[in-house]
Structure formats: structure tokens, C-alpha cells
């Protein structure tokens, strides 16, 4: 025997009736559906672009600095490597302090000046070796090739940003005359002639205006270090949200002579600004759900008012208050489902267009990216839909209580 849900059956008949679609409540119902759809669109866009921007900026900061930096205590995390760190560490080259660290690389930096016939620019030469992770710079590469440092002798190839190349009127294959100044200003600068193998553009002008990537052996020779001395170790972690916790574990494990710093600490202002996005996203979600909830409350009250006689008849036939309330809640949740469907369709469609065609540019001087990045993942999309559906259901329980106050006799006479 087929069991039929009585309340759901009545709700379906109400939704399918022609009178329902041409009733007085029809415009209000449409407004409620539009409010749900627009709210979902705004929530999807705010999460996808907010999280996308956070991830993109984090990746760019990590590309130039790693997630955690290990240096000598006396360096003060300067952009110019001063006191070397020995490479003969227990944690290098196979990092064994934390399994959350996915890669370790040795680097060194030194301030310099690039001089051409007409211009000059102050830069930071970042020395890297065979263990360097080129993953991010492969994505940033705009012209030429990445330099090859897997040679027996020092490589003169360097990677320069398009920003600096344009300012200095340089291109791939050009020679770069670079001057390194000694700590004792009385001594003349030492000169190195590099060849540009490739140009990169990270979109992060603060870094693009500074860094040129070169062979670490040049820095070692300029600083009179041996081949086992470097400026710092850069670590990459498997989950950036846990970088503080991992950083503390690394700090406890590297010994008393070495210091560690996460990029959240080194670039505190940038990450504090990024953290504000979490608050903004939460605020938008709350506002959208509140607006959509009030619209649904209005729609439900109008539906109840319009169907007062039906309520009276159902009560007269023996239906209890909760049974009648369920009919209208089913009806309202159907409207919520329609709004969520159109909201997801429009919202995800707009995000896919932005992801594939970059329709909405951003000012890189303000946002560190030139296009609005999009982060799409089914987990937050499903969570957002389920959360919105449940919250709307809970909100609608309150106005549906008015049904229990309706008298069957008065309701049947109501016009």
C-alpha cells in the first residue's frame, strides 16, 4: 500500500494550481524568490572572490619568501643576508622536524644596483640553488626561460621582473651590469655581469620592483662564504592555515642558535588586511540571509492570509495545527528551493565566466592582483546551500505559529 504524505500532497496541489500563480500573493512570492536568488548570488561571489584573493596573495608572498624562514638570530630578518647559516643541519636537505613541511630550500639575498646607459635601479638579488622550488615562477614566467643553476660553475643567468625590465629598457638575452656595495663604503663596488634568461610578472609590484633571481654561488662569493654557508632556509607547508602552529614546532626543533619567522609575522600588515576579508564575507552572508528570511516571512504571512478559509476547512476536518503549519512550511521551502536553484545557476555561471575569461579587472596597486581571482569548491557551495535552507526553515517556523491562533469557524467565514 502506497503511503502518501498528506501535508506534502496538499502543498503540491496548492503550488500547481492556476489560482496560486495568478493570486494576489504572486508578486510577493516572486519578490521573495528573487531575494533568495540574489542573496545566494552575492554570497557565492563574496566567498569565491574573497577566498580566491586571499589564496592568490598568500601564494605570491610565499613564492618570494617561503611560508617559514629560518635564519641566524643576528640577521634580524633583513633583506640583505648578513650572518650565514651552515647547510650542515640535521633538518637539511630532508626536513625531519615536522611532517607538515613539504619542501625546504637554501637561499641568500644581497642588495645591489642595476646600471644601464640611461637608468639605474636598486634591487635585491636573491640567490637560489639546485633545491629551489620553481613552481610559482613557472606560472609567473612571461618571456624566455627559467635560469639553469644545475651547472658545475656559477651561472650568469638571472630572472628579472617585467616591471624592472620595462623601467630599465631591458629584454631577454640582454646583459645586466649589477653593482654590489661593500659594508665599508670606502671600498669601490664589485661588479657582476648577468644575462637575462627570462622575465616574470607576479602582479605583486612590491616584490616585482625588488627581486632579481640569480645563482646563490654569486652571493656566497661576494660575501666570502664557503659553499656550505647560506643566508636562510625557506620552508613550504602543506596547509597555510596552520602556518603559526607549524612555525612554533619548527622553532622548537631548530635549536637555540637559529630563529624562525612565518610570513604572517614578516608581512603582518598584508595578512591583517587579508583577515578582514573573513569578517566581510561573514557580514555579507548574515545580511543576505536576514534579508531573504524577512522576505520569506512576508511571503508566508501573505500565503496564510490568502488561504485562511482553507486553513479553517482543514481544521474543521480534523487536521491539527502542526499538520496545517507543515503545509505552508512545505510551500515556503519550495519557494526557497526555487530561489536557491536560480541563485546557484546565476552565481556559479558568473564565477565560471570570471575564472575563464577574467572579465573584472582589479587595481594591482591596491589588491596585488590585476584580475579578480575566483576560488570554486563544492564543499563551501554545498555548505552554503544547506545552511541557507536550514536557516530559512527555522526562520519560517516562527510566523507559521500564527496558524494555531486561527479559529476554524472564523476562518471559514473569512473573505
Beta strands 157-161 and 190-200 are: parallel
pLDDT at residue 411 in the model: 62
* Minimum mean pLDDT range among 157-161, 258-262, 365-369, 380-384: 365-369
Q: Which residue has the cell 602582479?
A: 203
* Domain ranges, residue 198: 85-230
Do 189 and 303 lie in a common domain? no
Do 222 and 95 lie in a common domain? yes
Tell me how far the alpha carbon of residue 313 is from its chain's centroid.
Answer: 55
pLDDT class of 394 with cuts at 50, 70, 90: very high
For 259, phi then psi, to 5°, come to -115, 155
Is residue 66 in some structural domain? no
Mean pLDDT, to the nearest integer, of 294-306? 86
Do 207 and 122 lie in a common domain? yes
Do 49 and 91 lie in a common domain? no
Is residue 394 in some structural domain? yes
Is residue 366 in some structural domain? yes
Do 154 and 214 lie in a common domain? yes
pLDDT at residue 20 in the model: 57
Mean pLDDT, to the nearest integer, of 149-158? 91
Do 343 and 405 lie in a common domain? yes
Beta strands 229-230 and 85-86 are: antiparallel
Mean pLDDT, to the nearest integer, of 268-283? 92
Mean pLDDT, to the nearest integer, of 378-396? 93
* Minimum mean pLDDT range among 1-15, 46-60, 108-122, 181-195: 1-15
Do 106 and 51 lie in a common domain? no
Q: What percent of the chain has pLDDT over 90?
A: 63
pLDDT in tens, 65-99: 999 999 988 655 567 888 899 999 999 999 999 99
Last residue of a domain, one of 213, 230, 247: 230
Do 17 and 99 lie in a common domain? no
Which ranges of 22-102 would DSSP assign to H, the alpha helix? 26-65
pLDDT class of 2 with cuts at 50, 70, 90: very low
Is residue 258 in some structural domain? no
Do 195 and 95 lie in a common domain? yes
Q: Which residue has the cell 519557494?
A: 335
* Minimum mean pLDDT range among 133-147, 330-344, 358-372: 358-372
Last residue of a domain, one of 205, 230, 255: 230
Last residue of a domain, one of 214, 230, 246: 230
Do 39 and 147 lie in a common domain? no
How many structural domains compose the chain?
A: 2
Query: Is 414's pLDDT higher than 60?
Result: no
401 or 214, greater pLDDT? 214
Mean pLDDT, to the nearest integer, of 347-351? 96
User: What DSSP string runs through 317-349?
Assistant: TT--HHHHHHHHHHHHHHHHHHHHHHHHHHHHH
Distances (CA, A) of 229 to 87, 139, 152, 219: 6, 30, 17, 10
Is residue 244 in some structural domain? no
Residue spans of beta strands (DSSP E) within 166-288 = 175-180, 190-200, 211-215, 229-230, 232-237, 258-262
Is residue 266 in some structural domain? no
Which ranges of 66-140 would DSSP assign to H, the alpha helix? 135-140
pLDDT at residue 3 in the model: 47
Is residue 69 in some structural domain? no
Q: Which residue has the cell 472564523?
A: 410
Do 199 and 322 lie in a common domain? no
Q: By the 8 A CB rule, do 19 and 321 touch? A: no
Is residue 237 in some structural domain? no
Query: Is 154's pLDDT higher than 50?
Result: yes
Amino acid at each position: 500500500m502506497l503511503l502518501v504524505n498528506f501535508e506534502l500532497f496538499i502543498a503540491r496541489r496548492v503550488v500547481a494550481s492556476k489560482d496560486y500563480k495568478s493570486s494576489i500573493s504572486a508578486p510577493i512570492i516572486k519578490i521573495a524568490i528573487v531575494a533568495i536568488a540574489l542573496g545566494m548570488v552575492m554570497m557565492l561571489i563574496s566567498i569565491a572572490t574573497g577566498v580566491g584573493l586571499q589564496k592568490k596573495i598568500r601564494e605570491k608572498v610565499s613564492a618570494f619568501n617561503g611560508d617559514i624562514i629560518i635564519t641566524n638570530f643576528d640577521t634580524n630578518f633583513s633583506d640583505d643576508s648578513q650572518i650565514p647559516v651552515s647547510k650542515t643541519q640535521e633538518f637539511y636537505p630532508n626536513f625531519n622536524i615536522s611532517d607538515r613541511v613539504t619542501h625546504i630550500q637554501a637561499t641568500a639575498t644581497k642588495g645591489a644596483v642595476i646600471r644601464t646607459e640611461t637608468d639605474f635601479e636598486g634591487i635585491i638579488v636573491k640567490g637560489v640553488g639546485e633545491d629551489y622550488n620553481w613552481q610559482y615562477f613557472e606560472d609567473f614566467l612571461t618571456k624566455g626561460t627559467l635560469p639553469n643553476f644545475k651547472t658545475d660553475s656559477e651561472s650568469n643567468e638571472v630572472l628579472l621582473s617585467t616591471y624592472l625590465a620595462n623601467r630599465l629598457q631591458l629584454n631577454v638575452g640582454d646583459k645586466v651590469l649589477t653593482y654590489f656595495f661593500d659594508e665599508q663604503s670606502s671600498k669601490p663596488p664589485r661588479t657582476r655581469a648577468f644575462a637575462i634568461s627570462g622575465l616574470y610578472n607576479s602582479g605583486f609590484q612590491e616584490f616585482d620592483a625588488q627581486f632579481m633571481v640569480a645563482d646563490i654561488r654569486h652571493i656566497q662569493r661576494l660575501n666570502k662564504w664557503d659553499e656550505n654557508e647560506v643566508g636562510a632556509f625557506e620552508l613550504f607547508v602543506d596547509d597555510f592555515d596552520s602556518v603559526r602552529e607549524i612555525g612554533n614546532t619548527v622553532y622548537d626543533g631548530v635549536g637555540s642558535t637559529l630563529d624562525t619567522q612565518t610570513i604572517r609575522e614578516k608581512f603582518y600588515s598584508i595578512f591583517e588586511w587579508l583577515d578582514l576579508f573573513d569578517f566581510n564575507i561573514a557580514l555579507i552572508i548574515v545580511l543576505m540571509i536576514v534579508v531573504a528570511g524577512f522576505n520569506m516571512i512576508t511571503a508566508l504571512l501573505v500565503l496564510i492570509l490568502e488561504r485562511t478559509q482553507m486553513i479553517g476547512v482543514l481544521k474543521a476536518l480534523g487536521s491539527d495545527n502542526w499538520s496545517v503549519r507543515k503545509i505552508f512550511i512545505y510551500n515556503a521551502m519550495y519557494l526557497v528551493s526555487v530561489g536557491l536553484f536560480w541563485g546557484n545557476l546565476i552565481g556559479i555561471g558568473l564565477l565560471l565566466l570570471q575564472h575563464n575569461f577574467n572579465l573584472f579587472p582589479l587595481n594591482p596597486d591596491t589588491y596585488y592582483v590585476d584580475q579578480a581571482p575566483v576560488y570554486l569548491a563544492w564543499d563551501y557551495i554545498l555548505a552554503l546551500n544547506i545552511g541557507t535552507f536550514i536557516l530559512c526553515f527555522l526562520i519560517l517556523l516562527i510566523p507559521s505559529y500564527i496558524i494555531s491562533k486561527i479559529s476554524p469557524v472564523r476562518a471559514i467565514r473569512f473573505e
